[in-house]
């Protein structure tokens, strides 16, 4: 059974084994491809990062960190990075970790989650985040240099927490009522609910 738990000191080797191929590939994370083990672990476990692992039958098969994306007036927006072990991709591990992180973020009082840099060619990730309620709110033209030498766009993806989304739905719903009084059907406004 897949479980997600806080990382412990003795997970470091397992975490590095997950990070290394992704860093070396250089096609999704904006990290130097030659980053050393110690640099990578220092990045993953940086100050302010809360680190978790996904585990199946005692084997660590994924890891993620949760942090505030900004300080001060921006500290209510969370940010995460997720990586799944290469032989466990496409099996719901990232989905489980993201679900866990949304719960964790909510319990810590975050009001939104932001992904700063989703490479547009990482279509599986884009699809997954969309299915979990994230929207593409920005496009950074040619902001990513693929190892193949091509410049790719990157997306900023964003998701307000359920309660804020619910509030927005109410507002939309009120707007719909007011609009329907003006002869516009509720159905026409369906696309702006989220």
* Positions in the binding site for a second copy (CB under 8 A): 26-27, 29-33, 70-77, 111-112, 114, 116-117, 119, 137-147, 151, 154, 156, 158, 160, 164
**9 or 71, CB closer to a second copy?**
71
**5 or 111, CB closer to a second copy?**
111
User: Minimum distance between the CB of residue 58 and a second copy, rounded to whole angstroms?
Assistant: 32
CA dihedral 165, 170, 176, 182 (to 10 degrees): -140
**103 or 146, CB closer to a second copy?**
146
**53 or 65, CB closer to a second copy?**
65
79 to 74, 102, 122, 180: CA distances (angstroms)? 11, 10, 18, 38
User: Minimum distance between the CB of residue 125 and a second copy, rounded to whole angstroms?
Assistant: 15
User: Minimum distance between the CB of residue 76 and a second copy, rounded to whole angstroms?
Assistant: 6
User: Minimum distance between the CB of residue 91 and a second copy, rounded to whole angstroms?
Assistant: 26
DSSP state string for 172-192: HHHHHHHHHHTT--GGGGGGG
Give the residue carrying structure tokens 């609910």: 193
**93 or 161, CB closer to a second copy?**
161
According to the 3-state scheme, what is the secondary structure of 102-165? HHHHHHCCCCEEEEEEEECCCHHHHHHHHHCCCEEEEEEEEEEECCCCCEEEEEEEEEECHHHH
Tokens of 3: 């479980």
User: Minimum distance between the CB of residue 89 and a second copy, rounded to whole angstroms?
Assistant: 20
């Amino acid at each position: 059974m897949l479980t997600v738990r806080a990382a412990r000191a003795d997970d470091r080797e397992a975490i590095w084994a997950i990070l290394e191929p992704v860093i070396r590939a250089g096609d999704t994370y904006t990290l130097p491809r030659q980053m050393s083990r110690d640099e990578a672990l220092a990045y993953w476990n940086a100050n302010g990062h809360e680190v978790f692992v996904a585990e199946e039958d005692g084997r660590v098969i994924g890891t993620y960190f949760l942090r505030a994306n900004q300080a001060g007036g921006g500290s209510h927006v969370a940010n995460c990075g997720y990586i799944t072990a290469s032989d466990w991709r496409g099996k719901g591990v990232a989905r489980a970790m993201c679900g866990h992180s949304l719960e964790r973020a909510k319990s810590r009082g975050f009001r939104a989650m932001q992904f700063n840099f989703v490479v547009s060619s990482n279509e599986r990730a884009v699809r997954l985040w969309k299915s979990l309620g994230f929207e593409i709110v920005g496009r950074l033209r040619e902001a990513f240099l693929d190892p193949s030498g091509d410049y790719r766009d990157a997306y900023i993806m964003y998701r307000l927490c359920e309660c804020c989304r619910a509030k927005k739905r109410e507002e939309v719903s009120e707007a719909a009522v007011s609009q329907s009084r003006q002869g516009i059907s509720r159905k026409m406004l369906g696309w702006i609910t989220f």
